[in-house]
Amino acid sequence: MAYEARTFLNYENSIKLPSSEDLTIDYSDVKLNLKLLNKYFEVNTLDEILVRRRNEFKTRTEHLQKRKEALNEREIMFKERIISYEMYIKELSMKRDRSLRRIDDEKNLIQNKQIEIDLFNQEIQQIQNENKKLENIILQYQPHLNLLTQVNLPRIL
């Protein structure tokens, strides 16, 4: 909506020219008419300035409104980015937690396997010890076995 300067005074109506019968000039009327004419032009200029300033104000407010809308859009965009980034961080945190749980499970599995290996090693050691005892017993009875083989008796073992 453009503003226009008001024209409440008309130049022809503002100056009353003396009729041809009245040739006597009253200088106070002329001075008053000149003052009125000056005031009319002054009011016109002020009206034009006012109209220009109103239009400038309107364009500035429209520009500021557009900037405000653009800033609101950017703010919404940044909030969406922040939410997206937070979701990404949360997802990474969940992956990290799963990986840590997997690592703990693998450590426990390794520890259990090591315990099992230790038990098997103990069992092997026991079997080897038993084997040595049996070998010792066989060595003890070896001379008797040799004697029996010389005599040609059937073997018991």
Residue 30 has, within 13 A of its CA and on its CB side, a CA count of: 6
Check: CB of residue 9 under 8 Å from CB of residue 40: yes
Please tell me whether residue 146 adopts helix, strand or coil conformation: helix
Band of residue 29 on the pLDDT scale cut at 50, 70, 90 = confident
What CA–CA distance (Å, rounded) separates 143 from 146? 5
What pLDDT shows up at residue 14?
55
The domain ranges of the chain are 11-151
What pLDDT shows up at residue 12?
52
Q: How much is the pTM? A: 0.46
- Compute the average pLDDT of residues 2-9: 51
Residue whose token pair is 């040739």: 23
What CA–CA distance (Å, rounded) separates 42 from 100? 84
117-137 pLDDT per residue, tens: 999 999 999 999 999 999 999
What CA–CA distance (Å, rounded) separates 29 from 35? 10
Residue 84 tokens, joined: 């997206």
What pLDDT shows up at residue 88?
97
55-108 pLDDT per residue, tens: 999 999 999 999 999 999 999 999 999 999 999 999 999 999 999 999 999 999
Specify the DSSP class assigned to residue 152: T
3-state secondary structure string across 84-116: HHHHHHHHHHHHHHHHHHHHHHHHHHHHHHHHH
